[in-house]
Amino acid sequence: MRAWGRDVNYYSSPFVDGTMRWNIEGADQQTGQDRVIAIDAADQADAERKARARGILVSTIYPTTLKTAIERTEEEIVSPSQTAVPPAAPASTLNYRASSLPRQTVPNYRGLQIGSFVLGVFALLYYICGGIGLVFGILSVQDSSRVRFDAAQAFLWALLLAMGGGVLHAMSAACIALRDIARNSFNR
């Protein structure tokens, strides 16, 4: 068996005192519930005798195949030549995309690009008209021959046009953002 990059024997062998660990499968004499226990014994008959003494009706006995952590540590101390751990191999990336599926081409979403451009042009026109309205409002305030109502109306129109330009500008940016989100959904 290989573990940590080297060959390791995890199978049980006799202990120093001549005993061995055995797995006993059976049922509890009192409750009848299934039980699996491990017992250290010299042989299979001794393991069965110890299990019966603990109140187990024995069904199967077999040697334990895994060593305890202490046993593995003791073996590594005894044989230091096997303790050198080789360097780990570099992890390779796995391609989880099924090879039988054709690779989808990412759509261009030309309609969103055109919509964004058109909205951007209208936003620019609204900004320009709002700027012109602001200039007319300032000029009408300075001209004393006109009524003050015209100046207030010019400022109001300039403000509304600037707000409309802002909304169109936001919609233009939203079109580009939507296109980018849709295109990124193909990169998964």
Per-residue pLDDT tens digits for 109-151: 899 999 999 999 999 999 999 999 888 888 877 766 655 567 7
Specify the pLDDT at position 2.
Answer: 38
> What pLDDT, on the 0 to 100 scale, is given for residue 88?
61
Looking at per-residue pLDDT, the higher value among 5 and 149 belongs to 149
Q: What pLDDT sits at residue 4?
A: 41
* Domain shared by 7 and 71, yes or no: yes
Specify if 116 maps to a domain.
yes
Domain range enclosing 56: 2-81
Amino acid, single-letter form, for residue 97:
R
In a domain, 101, yes or no: no
Rg (the chain; Cα; Å) = 42
Torsion of CA 115, 116, 117, 123, to 10 degrees: 110
> Which range among 38-47, 66-75, 117-126, 161-170 shows the weakest confidence by mean pLDDT?
66-75
Task: Name the more confident of 142 and 157.
Answer: 157
Residue 104 lies in a domain: no
182 and 127 within one domain: yes
pLDDT tens by residue, 67-108: 667 766 776 666 655 545 555 666 666 555 555 556 677 788
Give a yes or no: residue 12 inside a domain. yes
Where does the pLDDT of residue 187 fall: very low under 50, low under 70, confident under 90, or very high at 90 and above?
A: low
Tokens at residue 79, please?
A: 């044989």
Residues 75 and 139 occupy one common structural domain: no
- Report the distance separating Cα 172 and Cα 115, nearest Å: 7
Backbone angles phi, psi at 21, to 5 degrees: -85, 135
Q: Is residue 59 part of a domain?
A: yes
CA distance 90 to 85: 15
pLDDT computed for residue 126 by the predictor: 94
Total domains present in the chain: 2
SS3 state of residue 43: coil
Q: What is the pLDDT of residue 128?
A: 94
Tell me whether residue 159 is exposed, middle or buried, using C-beta atoms within 10 angstroms of its C-beta: 0 to 12, 13 to 18, 19 or more.
middle
**Locate tokens 């193909």: which residue?**
186
